[in-house]
Amino acid sequence: MIHFHRFQLDNGLKVLVHEDHTVPMAVLNILYDVGAKDENPNQTGFAHLFEHLMFGGSINIPSYDEPLQRVGGENNAFTNNDITNYYIQLPSVNIETAFWLESDRMLSLAFSEKSLETQRSVVIEEFKQRYLNQPYGDVWLKLRPLAYTTHSYQWATIGKEVSHIENAKMDDVKAFFYKHYTPSNAIMVVAGDVNLDQVKALSEKWFGNIPSGNKYQRDIPQEPIQTEKRSLTTSANVPNDSIYKAFHIHNRSSKEYYIADIISDILSRGESSRLYQELVKTKKIFSEVNAYITGDIDPGLFILEGKPSKGISLEEADEALWSVVNEIKANKIEQRELQKIFNKLESSTVFGEMNLLNKAMNMAYFELLGDADMINTEMERYRSVSPEDISNYASEVFTPTNCSTLFYKSNKS
């Protein structure tokens, strides 16, 4: 159970406070409601590049990192298709430094040309390191546009191609900032060894006079229902073939989301899961195999992926994956297996809540979904899923016409 308080400043900034005095540390987490899905199709990778620029100095403070390290703090950030999330962890005695730094960059960046130039190079190196110079690193660059014809989930957070990052201009940076980095588009969580009154006072002091800006109205074209089987075959200099299957599922706020998540656990959570036991251990068709959901806010994807064992073709591997999901469609799951999933979810919640940063990030995320208190009722939503729900939803999702398959072939085979 996570207890918290919530208040809102006049400029629209939402603030959540969670007191936890077990260690003398504090976290200040700010989630901006902007992700790669909000990008222009001709300027992809921009939300993430922008995240890098947020560390290039703000209007009144030339260096972001230096003053924070000087008081014993650390920070980082991540961008995904839905959100951009920034966090600071620091000894709680110096919490005000976090307010000072975060409020100034919400007020305005320094927009330094040098920073833009450097971070373009850094992000291009990141593009190479994680997507281009890695075996199978480009899978998501190929799978997304296959699965999505319309929705902006069709490109990865890093961007469609390196040239989009090379071409980023300062004017675009400024426009993006004023459009998305406003108090009303942000959720701040302050957690740890702090108290409510202190956070209220510091929030007013540092964030209170930031102009509210205009609330960004999102209007993303939604993905039409897929009606035909899709597949793409690609090849690369990798030692092994690999297969990726993407199925459309419901959005984050639906009941079906929880059913899909449970199905992915049945298939792939822990060594006792079905895919591992049946396809790796018993039939030895795969050397590794995995199932998961992408966890997106808008309708996301259910992914099956694996590397077939030597001598097994991608077609045989594909068939084996179908046989396991067809089993879920055809036969109701036993009570013990479902109980196992619930127990695992329960313990991962307890262990997860032993980490302050993790709590703070989750609170911000659930607040974005509608209410941070959903963290405390999340388990109930999982528990409400029945064996019938599982086979019914599996039958709806796991159909050839709802599926996009990427056959990733090794040039050597």
- Taking CB under 8 A as the criterion, which residues in 261-300 touch another protein? 269-273, 277, 280-281, 284, 287-288
Binding map of another protein across residues 78-97, x = CB under 8 A, - = no contact: -----------xxx-xx-xx
CA-based end-to-end distance of the chain: 52
Q: How far is the CB of 199 from another protein (least distance, A)?
A: 14
Q: How far is the CB of 205 from another protein (least distance, A)?
A: 6
Contacts of another protein in 310-329 (CB under 8 A): 310
Using rule CB under 8 A, residue 352 touches another protein: no
Tokens of 355: 């980490």
Q: How far is the CB of 171 from another protein (least distance, A)?
A: 21
Using rule CB under 8 A, residue 208 touches another protein: yes
Tokens of 365: 């995320």
Contacts of another protein in 146-185 (CB under 8 A): none
Using rule CB under 8 A, residue 22 touches another protein: yes
Nearest CA among 304, 300, 292 for reference residue 265: 292
Contact of 403 with 249, CB cutoff 8 Å:
no
Contact of 59 with 104, CB cutoff 8 Å:
yes
Using rule CB under 8 A, residue 121 touches another protein: yes
Tokens of 149: 């014809």
Cβ distance to another protein smaller for residue 5 or 344: 344
Contact of 337 with 273, CB cutoff 8 Å:
no
Contact of 61 with 67, CB cutoff 8 Å:
yes
Using rule CB under 8 A, residue 133 touches another protein: yes
* Torsion angle, alpha carbons of 268, 272, 276, 282, to 10: -160
Candidates 134, 150, 331, 401; binder of another protein (CB under 8 A) is 134
Cβ distance to another protein smaller for residue 135 or 145: 135
Using rule CB under 8 A, residue 237 touches another protein: yes
Look at strands 14-19 and 5-8 and give their pairing.
antiparallel
Q: How far is the CB of 99 from another protein (least distance, A)?
A: 8
Look at strands 403-410 and 242-248 and give their pairing.
antiparallel
